[in-house]
Amino acid sequence: MQVLLVEDNPINQVVALEFLSLMGLRSRLASNGLEAVDACMQAAPDLVLMDIQMPGMDGLECARRLRELQARAELPHFPILALTAHALESDVKASLAAGMDEHLTKPLDFTALRGRLDHWLGRLPAQ
């Protein structure tokens, strides 16, 4: 299984990539929405973990763009999970309206993240 992490903060990148590695998942990194669209067009991931607030194309616009490409059959469908510090109800609604499948909040919790990835990807390998 391969996860595309879309995150611009270097510290958050290190933490999330380490969590994914510990879960036995392969991962790729994009630092903004434009890089994420390009990465998905090169090789579609099994799941995208997407920050919302990023320079250039933010996570909401990126999710909309990916869903448009999927609707035109230019990309296969894959889950997109928001991974953000924004936790208000309006933030959750904005994520879902943009086409994200779920809204997860930072700071990252290994056990909670693993549970959500188990849900979307199927049972992950034991650690």
Q: What is the pLDDT of residues 21-57, one digit of tens each?
A: 999 999 999 999 999 999 999 999 999 999 999 999 9
- Residue 126: pLDDT band (50, 70, 90) is low
For all residues of the chain together, what is the average pLDDT? 94
Domains along the sequence of the chain with CATH: 2-117 (3.40.50.2300)
Alpha-carbon distance of 25 to 17, in angstroms, equals 9
pLDDT at 124: 66
Which residues share a beta bridge with 6?
30, 50
Alpha-carbon distance of 97 to 79, in angstroms, equals 14
Alpha-carbon distance of 122 to 11, in angstroms, equals 28
Please name which of 88, 82, 74 lies closest in space to residue 120, comparing C-alpha atoms.
Answer: 82
Model pTM above 0.85:
yes
